[in-house]
Amino acid sequence: MIALIVRRGIQLIFLLLGISFLVFSSMYIAPGDPATMVGGPTASATDLEAIRDNLGLNDPFLVQYGRYLKNAVQGDFGYSYQSKQSVSEAISIRFPNTLKLAVASMVVAIIIGIIAGLISALKHNSWLDVTSTTFALAGISIPNFWLGALLILVFSVNLQWLPVGGLSAPFYTTEGFKQMILPAITLGTSSAAMIARMTRSSILEVVKADYVRTARAKGVRERKVIWVHTLKNAMIPVVTVIGVNFGALLGGTIITEKVFAINGVGRLMVDAIAMRDFPMVQASVLLVATLFVVVNLVVDIVYTFIDPRITYE
């Protein structure tokens, strides 16, 4: 286990170096002048040139990239060109909202996905199976922005049961819980559909295994056959899908945050890209990439608890 963590830690370093280089290069060659953003529309050519010198934008590419890496290692990602706020501070303020939304969406996806997939597999070729399969297809096909707008129209505008958006209240309060429901369902629906499909196919494969038939032949209760012998052994591919989807949710909250006016990292990233706010974009992408790798490491560790036969030595 320790060897796995060490190897993944080394891989993480090289991966982040590669990602940082690609993102920095993309921002470097992207159209637009950051000096114009900082100086504003009234800045003269002399002012813009002074700003470029002050920001180091006139230095060669490798010099700029080296300076960026040096500061990033120390936790200094610079200041936003738009708001003049520290990038690290801006992200730290907004990241909790993104994390809460991703976790809530994943909880919704796991509960709905596993239950739907389990019912679909146990009632194979029945109307329940058809309904679950149709739900999975619809969940994957429906765009987040359309589903979010539809949920707002029905539950916020017409029925007035839930707030339109925002995550201003703590999640453990009644108001905070209500604010989380619609965004979590919107973001978690597609993941729930994928988890349901994987759960169904995995269980259908496991129930044909010899040890399941042996358990039934020994007179083991059907409930125990399903929950102990079948579901547990079918969970490895499901956990893989859950891990990949959770990593994607952390970086894919952009549209949902926009629809529900949530002040998160995804929304911050979109605004930064639109405004050519390079330091903010670079730090946000690095954060998402780091979290994605960490989530995959956690998934690998979970494998060993589900199936002790799996080792990484």
* pLDDT confidence bin for 312, thresholds 50/70/90: low
Residue 1 has pLDDT above 70, yes or no: no
Q: What is the C-alpha to C-alpha distance for residues 51 and 201, in angstroms, rounded to an integer?
A: 59
Rg, C-alpha atoms of the chain: 24
How far apart, in whole angstroms, are the C-alpha atoms of residue 165 and residue 178? Answer: 9
pLDDT over 80 at 198, yes or no: yes
Q: Which domains does the chain have, with CATH numbers?
A: 2-87 (no CATH), 95-306 (1.10.3720.10)
From residue 38, how far is each of 32, 43, 55 by CA, in Å? 12, 9, 10
Q: Between these two residues, 310 and 234, which has the higher pLDDT value?
A: 234
Give the whole-number percent of the chain exceeding pLDDT 90: 0
pLDDT of 127: 82
Query: In terms of C-beta distances under 8 Å and separation of at least 24 residues, what long-range contacts does 109-112 make, across chains too?
Result: 109/188, 109/189, 109/191, 109/192, 109/195, 109/242, 109/245, 110/192, 110/195, 110/242, 112/188, 112/192, 112/195, 112/196
Q: pLDDT averaged over the chain?
A: 79
- This prediction's pTM: 0.78
CA pair distance 277, 289, nearest whole angstrom? 19
Place of tokens 């729930």: 192
Q: Which of 26-35, 83-92, 201-210, 263-272 has the lowest mean pLDDT?
A: 26-35
pLDDT in tens, 111-127: 888 888 888 888 877 88
Regarding predicted confidence, which is higher, 152 or 47?
152
Residue count of the chain: 313
Per the rule left: phi > 0, alpha: psi between -120 and 50, beta: everything else, 214 is alpha
pLDDT value of position 83: 77
Q: What angle do CA 260, 265, 270 make, to 5 degrees?
A: 80
Q: What pLDDT, on the 0 to 100 scale, is given for residue 140?
A: 77
Max CA pair span of the chain = 87
